Amino acid sequence: MTTQEITLPPITPRQREIWQWIADYHARERIGPSVRDVAKAFRIASPNGVMAHVRPLVKRGWLESKRNIARSIIPTLEALSHAAE
């Protein structure tokens, strides 16, 4: 059985900081943070500002988020295993 290496597109240092915070929050609370939680933690003034960071992370496969469902911003399993390496 061969181990398949997981390769995710690179992210910026700021995106990495936000991703790590979301991953830590999810591990601690067992639920994803709200957009307001992220905004408060990073002193981002608006929900749209948070989503400007979250959307690229979802697109690159680092996060998953379900539209119109509260607290659905969570790290993907691929990203968690990639970060552990």
Domains held by the chain: number: 1
Alpha-helical runs (H) found in 1-69? 13-29, 35-42, 47-59
- pLDDT, residue 85, reads 72
What φ, ψ does residue 7 adopt, rounded to 5°? -120, 120
Q: In which region does residue 71 sit, left (phi positive, over 0), alpha (psi from -120 to 50) or beta (all else)?
A: left
pLDDT tens digit string along 6-28? 689 999 999 999 999 999 999 99
Task: State which residues form the domain around 29.
Answer: 13-84
- Is 50 within the bounds of a domain? yes
pLDDT top residue among 17 and 68: 17
- pTM value is 0.89
What is the C-alpha radius of gyration for the chain, rounded to an integer number of angstroms?
13
Q: Is 7 among the domain residues?
A: no
CATH number at residue 43: 1.10.10.10
Q: Is 63 inside a domain boundary?
A: yes
